């Protein structure tokens, strides 16, 4: 009788049908290289959790009576995974629970192993999850369970005060790729295709053509595979998988390589193949979430190919620079190009009809307020007002988390409750799902101060990043800013004047600002969920809050703001237009909905479709991920 292996990998998705990539690669690997693949059954895993309750998921696992359950733990799901593991162990005490991925902090918290007594094995992210799982399953099939011989296996001691690491018997560079991620999975993916079709939808998928990253950026943890040799699939496997994806009519391919483009001609040819198939009728889009860091020519060639051919995700074009300042880039060990090379290309992309954004990370070491505001000059030049700064979460296994690095840059963090709400709009209760439940939201360490900026300066940068994106996407400040630029007031200085205006309003006791910043402080203390705040009796994203606030206090803001700007008749005219625009938003029957809708229209208004990418942060295949 076959035993069951159950994979639990709750992912972030709304109204999407992603293939269970982790499940597919584990199963295909074991099918091709395992000694006893026929001894195991692989029921469809926990993947998307939309519409499911905790008890639904638990019941799905229990009905299979699995011998092994493998949990893939990331910041968005680790708390849910732990609660599920605890419940499973109580009802199936002989089941072996394996935890892997970036969020298994057994070595960061002294009591973690005792508190999580139900965790039997941990897959070290320095190894490969496929090899770990294959060896474990073959051992159990032979009745010779021995964790010491499982590559990169971590086993808690009997008293759960320490853990023992196995001596690796394989090298990471010896990774073998199965002939296809679909090998042995044909029945399962066809079933999933029919499920999607029954809901008038199509499948999407993660996909990797390489694994690993040769760089070691201080803020990054790419599933334990940073600062290592990049391993690549054979071209035969790559094209075999693409052909099968086309037969499934896959709608969106989320390429999760850390450095796509690093193999130059090979990677260009992969893109050209997809373009050629799209011309012949395959309606597919792709997203490239990790591009090569030291070959801007190849990156821009690939990007232009995908954009011009319209196979790129149509929501917007993003270019990751992390920081435009070379001192900051050096501090985080990030390869940096001259900023002008980035923004000139972003401006070129704009001509193809795409909305554009430059991606930064908020508050990296050596960042100052001057650097923060100067980046608005680049954003204005590229007309990339979707640009945002992602808050810096100090990942436990990243170089920046090491004590010496933290001490050097005097890094201060606070634990905040993780959320992945869509920050563009307020979700209704019916749209919430399990990963939104506070009971299953974990915490992450948010960097709020370093040697070059204080917590109060961080708050200024965090608020203004949302404020500026809001008012520019709503065309509240655009024409006034552009005219001020002709008078010698840079975009950076213009928005500094905005902050000075807000500070003056705060000093005079503005209740709206007091409520906003009090709510942010509550989030930093873990009282409410970070990134969504209580304001005016509603729970809103900060981008929406800041725009809504401005409509309510338009008179006060405009009156003070005028004091900072040049004396000029056209400035007066543009100030009037700005005030009129705010009044129009304010006088709507539901100004919050109007603001949300106009933000959405700015982003998506001219686009044919929008794909919800669920894995911008994913790094697959290392540990149980």
- In percent, how much of the chain has pLDDT > 70? 93
pLDDT band at 621 (very low <50, low <70, confident <90, very high): very low
Residue 8 lies in a domain: yes
Using the structure block, give the residue that is written with the tokens 């911008």. 616
At 607 the pLDDT is: 42
- The residue with greater pLDDT, 619 or 256, is 256
What's the number of domains the chain is made of?
Answer: 2
- Range from 45-54, 196-205, 607-616 carrying the lowest mean pLDDT: 607-616
Edge-to-edge strands of the sheet including 252-255?
204-207, 252-255, 285-288
Residue 427 lies in a domain: yes
Q: What is the mean pLDDT of residues 37-54?
A: 91
Residue 583 lies in a domain: yes
Kind plus residue range of the DSSP H or E element containing 309: helix 296-309
At 12 the pLDDT is: 77
pLDDT band at 432 (very low <50, low <70, confident <90, very high): low
- The residue with greater pLDDT, 186 or 426, is 186
**433 pLDDT higher than 80:** no
At 491 the pLDDT is: 98
pLDDT band at 424 (very low <50, low <70, confident <90, very high): very low
At 215 the pLDDT is: 86
- The residue with greater pLDDT, 620 or 240, is 240
- The residue with greater pLDDT, 295 or 516, is 516
C-beta of residue 53 within 8 angstroms of C-beta of residue 434: yes
- Please give the backbone phi and psi of residue 450, each rounded to the nearest 5 degrees, phi first: -140, -170
Residues pairing with 391 in the sheet:
362
> Rg of the chain over CA atoms, in angstroms?
25
**305 pLDDT higher than 60:** yes
**450 pLDDT higher than 90:** yes
Six token digits for residue 187:
């029945």
CA distance 304 to 323: 22
Using the structure block, give the residue that is written with the tokens 């908020």. 362
Q: What is the mean pLDDT of residues 601-621?
A: 44
Residue (of 453, 493, 468) closest to 363 by Cα position: 453
171-216 residue pLDDT tens? 777 789 999 999 999 999 999 999 999 999 999 999 999 998 888 8
How many Cα atoms occupy the beta-carbon half-sphere of 252 within 13 Å? 22
At 337 the pLDDT is: 62
If one counts every other C-beta atom within 10 angstroms of the C-beta of residue 304, the result is 15
pLDDT band at 226 (very low <50, low <70, confident <90, very high): confident
Residue 60 lies in a domain: yes
Six token digits for residue 597:
């809708």
**169 pLDDT higher than 80:** no
Q: What is the mean pLDDT of residues 300-309?
A: 93
CA distance 556 to 554: 6
CA distance 616 to 613: 7
- In percent, how much of the chain has pLDDT > 90? 69
Task: Taking each helix axis as running N to C, give the angle between helix 129-142 and helix 21-33, from 0 to 180 degrees, rounded to the nearest 10.
Answer: 50
CA distance 596 to 183: 44
Residue 553 lies in a domain: yes
pLDDT band at 52 (very low <50, low <70, confident <90, very high): confident
Q: What is the mean pLDDT of residues 330-346?
A: 80
Residue 518 lies in a domain: yes
DSSP state of 450: B
Q: What is the mean pLDDT of residues 495-520?
A: 96
How many Cα atoms occupy the beta-carbon half-sphere of 535 within 13 Å? 29
351-381 residue pLDDT tens? 887 888 888 999 999 999 999 999 999 999 9
Q: What is the mean pLDDT of residues 113-131?
A: 94
Residue 430 lies in a domain: yes
At 319 the pLDDT is: 80
- Would you say the C-alpha torsion 85, 86, 91, 96 has a positive or negative sign? positive
454-503 residue pLDDT tens? 999 999 999 999 999 999 999 999 999 999 999 999 999 999 999 999 99
Alpha carbon separation from 249 to 207, 281, 283, 530, 611 (Å, rounded)? 15, 10, 8, 38, 15
**Domain final position from 173, 195, 226:** 173
pLDDT band at 615 (very low <50, low <70, confident <90, very high): very low
CA distance 423 to 413: 23
- The residue with greater pLDDT, 141 or 588, is 141
At 336 the pLDDT is: 64
Q: Which domain holds residue 24?
A: 3-173
At 422 the pLDDT is: 46
Q: What is the mean pLDDT of residues 378-405?
A: 92
Max CA pair span of the chain: 86
Question: Domain of 62: which CATH number?
Answer: 3.40.50.280
Residues pairing with 443 in the sheet:
417
- Dihedral through CA 181, CA 185, CA 186, CA 191, nearest 10? -120
Residue 67 lies in a domain: yes
């Amino acid at each position: 009788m076959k035993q069951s292996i159950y994979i639990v990998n709750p992912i972030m998705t709304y109204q999407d049908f992603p293939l269970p990539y982790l499940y597919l690669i584990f199963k295909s690997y074991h099918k091709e290289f395992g000694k006893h693949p026929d001894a195991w059954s692989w029921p469809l895993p926990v993947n998307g959790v939309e519409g499911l309750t905790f008890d639904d998921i638990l019941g799905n696992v229990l009905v299979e009576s699995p011998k092994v359950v493998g949990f893939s733990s990331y910041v968005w799901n680790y708390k849910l995974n732990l609660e599920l593991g605890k419940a499973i162990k109580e009802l199936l005490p002989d089941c072996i629970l394996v935890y892997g991925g970036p969020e298994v902090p057994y070595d960061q918290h002294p009591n973690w192993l005792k508190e999580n007594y139900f965790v039997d094995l941990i897959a070290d992210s320095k190894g490969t999850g496929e090899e770990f799982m294959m060896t474990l399953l073959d051992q159990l099939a032979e009745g010779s369970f021995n964790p010491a011989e499982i590559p990169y296996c971590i086993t808690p001691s009997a008293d759960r005060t320490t853990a023992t690491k196995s001596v690796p018997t394989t090298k990471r560079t010896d990774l073998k790729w199965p002939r296809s991620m679909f090998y042995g999975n044909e029945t399962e993916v066809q079933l999933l295709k029919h499920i999607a079709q029954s809901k008038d939808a199509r499948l999407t998928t993660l996909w990797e053509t390489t694994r690993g990253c040769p760089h070691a950026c201080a803020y990054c943890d790419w599933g334990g595979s940073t600062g290592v040799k990049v391993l690549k699939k054979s071209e035969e496997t790559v094209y075999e998988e693409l052909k099968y994806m086309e037969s499934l009519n896959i709608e969106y391919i989320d390429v999760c390589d850390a450095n796509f483009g690093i193999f130059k001609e090979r990677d260009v040819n992969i893109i050209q193949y997809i373009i050629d198939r799209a011309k012949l009728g395959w309606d597919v889009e792709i997203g490239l979430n990790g591009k090569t860091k030291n070959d801007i020519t190849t990156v821009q060639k690939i990007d232009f190919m995908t954009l011009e051919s319209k196979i790129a995700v149509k929501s917007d074009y993003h270019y990751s620079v992390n920081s435009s300042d070379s001192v900051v880039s050096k501090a985080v060990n990030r390869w940096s190009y001259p900023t002008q090379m980035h923004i000139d290309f972003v401006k070129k992309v704009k001509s193809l009809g795409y909305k554009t954004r430059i991606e930064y990370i908020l508050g990296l070491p050596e960042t100052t307020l001057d650097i923060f505001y100067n980046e608005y000059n680049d954003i204005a030049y590229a007309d990339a007002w979707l640009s945002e700064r992602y808050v810096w979460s100090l990942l436990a296994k990243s170089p920046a988390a090491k004590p010496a690095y933290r001490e050097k840059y005097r890094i201060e963090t606070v634990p905040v409750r993780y959320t992945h709400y869509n920050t563009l709009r307020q979700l209704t209760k019916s749209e919430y799902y399990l990963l939104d439940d506070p009971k299953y939201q974990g915490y992450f360490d948010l960097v709020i101060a370093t040697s070059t900026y204080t917590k109060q300066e961080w708050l200024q940068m965090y608020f203004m990043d949302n404020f500026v994106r809001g008012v520019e996407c709503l065309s509240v400040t655009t024409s006034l800013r552009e005219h001020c630029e002709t008078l010698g007031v840079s975009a950076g200085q213009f928005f500094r004047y905005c902050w000075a205006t807000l500070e003056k309003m705060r000093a005079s006791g503005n209740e709206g600002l007091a409520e906003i910043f009090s709510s942010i402080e509550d989030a930093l203390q873990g009282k409410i969920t970070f990134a969504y705040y209580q304001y005016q009796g509603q729970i809103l994203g900060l981008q929406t809050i800041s725009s809504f606030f401005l409509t309510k206090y338009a008179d006060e803001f405009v009156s003070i703001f005028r004091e900072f700007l040049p004396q000029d008749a056209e400035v007066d005219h543009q100030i009037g237009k700005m005030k009129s625009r705010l009044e129009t938003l304010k006088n709507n029957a539901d100004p919050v909905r109007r603001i949300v809708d106009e933000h959405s229209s700015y982003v998506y208004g001219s686009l044919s479709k929008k794909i919800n990418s669920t894995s911008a942060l994913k790094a697959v295949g290392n540990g149980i991920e």
